[in-house]
Amino acid sequence: MTSIDAVVAGAGLWGCTVARRLAESGRNVLVLEKRPVVGGNVRCETDPATGIEIHTYGSHIFHTHLDDVWDFVNRFISFNGYQHKVLARYKGKTYFLPLGLTLVNQFYGINLTPSELPAFIANEASRDVPQGVTPSNFEEQAISFVGRPLYEAFIRDYTRKQWGRDPKELDASIIRRLPVRTSYDVNYFSDYRQGIPLTGYNSLFDRLLNHPNITVQCDTDWLTWKEGEGKALSHLPVFYSGPIDALFGYKFGALEWRSLNFEVERVNCADYQGTSVVNYTLADVPWTRIHEYKHYHPEQKDVMAHPETIICKEFPKKWELGDEPYYSVNNRETDELLAKYKQEAAKMSNITIGGRLGEYKYYDMDQSIARALAVDLT
C-alpha cells in the first residue's frame, strides 16, 4: 500500500465489513487490531488432535432474516445449514428451549394443543400478576409472560447467574419480549437462514480482508498508535469499533459490562451431551451452560466420530477494567453515562463509531454486519 485513505480500528465483524466496503470503493485501508489475530469475539481455533473448531469466546451461530446481510456474507463463505437447538437441565430432566408446546407439555405433564397454550399460559401468569398491573422489574415482567412455575424453573436462577443480580433488581425492559411458541418447533432461532461456515469462521475474516487495498496490522491498539506513528495520519477518517468510553480515557467513568470465564475440557468420549448447548437453570450449578463444539459441524463425519470431544463450561462474572466485555448492562445509570460519551463523540469530525463496543449494545452477528453495511463512508 503506497498511501492510506482511511483507518479501521478493530477487526471484528463491524470493522472488517467496513474495511471491505472501503476497499471496494477504491480506498486504501489500514486495519489495526489490538489482538494478535483478527476476528473479534467470533475468533475460532481448530484443535489439532480432534479437528474440532473451538469458538474461543463462546458459541456463535450465524442466523438472519436480512437479505442484504445474507447476500453479503455468502460472497465470502458458504454455510452448512446447521439449525441451533438449545436444551435446558432442570432437576435431573432435560427440556427443549425456547418455551413452547414441547417444554410446557413436558413440564406440566399435559397435552395442550396450539390453540389451548395461550390461554393456559395467561392463566398461569394471572395467578401472580393481575391484569392491568404494570410489571416494575424483570421478575414481575417474566412472570407476567409465563407464570411463576416456568419462571422459577428456567429463568430466575439462570438470570441471577448471568447478570449477578437478583431479578427483582433488574429492569423490566431486559425481558420485554419473551416468546412462547404455540408449536412444537424446537429451533432456537426463528430465522430460516442459519448455519456455521463450512470452512470455519476464521475464513470469513481472512476473505473479507483479502483485498489489495487492505493492509492489516495486528498487536496494535489504535488508541496508542494514534499518539505515536499515527500522528501524521490524524487527518484521515477513522472507523472505530473499540469501547466508546476507552476512546475518551474513561473521563466520565467506565461503562458497566458482564464478562465471562470459560473452562475448556477434553473428554474421553465421542459425544458428551448430544447437542451443542445445554443450559443449567438452577443455582446449585455454578456455570450457565456447557458448549460441545463438534455438534456445530455435523457434516464433518470424521470429527463427529472421533473418540474424544471438547466441551466448554461458561461462567458469567463481574467485569473489571481490563476484562473482556461481553454483555452491556443497560440501565438508567449506564444510559446517562453513555449519553455523555456520545456528546463527546459528536464533537469529533473525522471518526465514525460502531460495533457492539462502540455503541455499547448487544448485537447478533447479522446485526453487526447490517450496521456496518449502513455506515456512511463519505
pLDDT in tens, the chain (378 residues): 569 999 999 999 999 999 999 999 999 999 999 999 999 999 999 999 999 999 999 999 999 999 999 999 999 999 999 999 999 999 999 999 999 999 999 999 999 999 999 999 999 988 887 666 788 889 999 998 899 999 999 999 999 999 999 999 888 877 765 668 999 999 999 998 999 999 999 999 999 999 999 999 999 999 999 999 888 888 999 999 999 999 999 999 999 999 999 999 999 999 999 999 999 999 999 999 999 999 999 999 999 999 999 999 999 999 999 999 999 998 889 999 999 999 999 999 899 999 999 999 999 999 999 999 999 998
Which of the residues 289, 293, 296, 341 is marked catalytic? 289
Annotated active-site residue 75? The verdict is: no
Instruction: Classify residue 170: in a domain, yes or no.
Output: yes
Instruction: Classify residue 122: in a domain, yes or no.
Output: yes
Q: Are residues 22 and 115 in the same domain?
A: no
Cα-trace Rg, the chain: 22
Which of the residues 181, 193, 356, 371 is marked catalytic? 181
Instruction: Classify residue 78: in a domain, yes or no.
Output: no
Which of the residues 256, 323, 344, 364 is marked catalytic? 364
Annotated active-site residue 364? The verdict is: yes
How much is the pLDDT for 73?
98
Q: Are residues 335 and 234 in the same domain?
A: yes
Instruction: Classify residue 145: in a domain, yes or no.
Output: yes
Annotated active-site residue 258? The verdict is: yes
Q: Are residues 27 and 126 in the same domain?
A: no
Q: Are residues 24 and 170 in the same domain?
A: no
Annotated active-site residue 362? The verdict is: yes
How much is the pLDDT for 136?
84
Q: Are residues 214 and 349 in the same domain?
A: yes
Which of the residues 258, 272, 280, 366 is marked catalytic? 258
Annotated active-site residue 177? The verdict is: yes
Residue 226 domain boundaries: 6-38+209-252+329-373
Annotated active-site residue 289? The verdict is: yes
Instruction: Classify residue 312: in a domain, yes or no.
Output: no
Q: What is the pLDDT of residues 39-58, one digit of tens each?
A: 999 999 999 999 999 999 99
Instruction: Classify residue 217: in a domain, yes or no.
Output: yes
Q: Which CATH number characterizes residue 233's domain?
A: 3.40.50.720
Q: Are residues 124 and 33 in the same domain?
A: no
Q: Are residues 239 and 352 in the same domain?
A: yes
Which of the residues 71, 177, 332, 376 is marked catalytic? 177
Instruction: Classify residue 367: in a domain, yes or no.
Output: yes
Q: Are residues 147 and 246 in the same domain?
A: no
Q: What is the pLDDT of residues 217-227, one digit of tens each?
A: 999 999 999 99
Instruction: Classify residue 318: in a domain, yes or no.
Output: no
8 Å CB contact between 256 and 319: yes
How much is the pLDDT for 233?
87
Contacts of 315 (CB under 8 A, 6+ apart): 260, 261, 262, 263, 286, 287, 288
Q: Are residues 233 and 138 in the same domain?
A: no
Final residue belonging to a domain, choices 129, 158, 175: 175
Q: Are residues 171 and 112 in the same domain?
A: yes
**Tally of structural domains, the chain:** 2
Final residue belonging to a domain, choices 175, 201, 220: 175
Final residue belonging to a domain, choices 175, 200, 234: 175
Q: Are residues 132 and 17 in the same domain?
A: no
Which of the residues 33, 191, 314, 359 is marked catalytic? 314
Q: Are residues 224 and 359 in the same domain?
A: yes
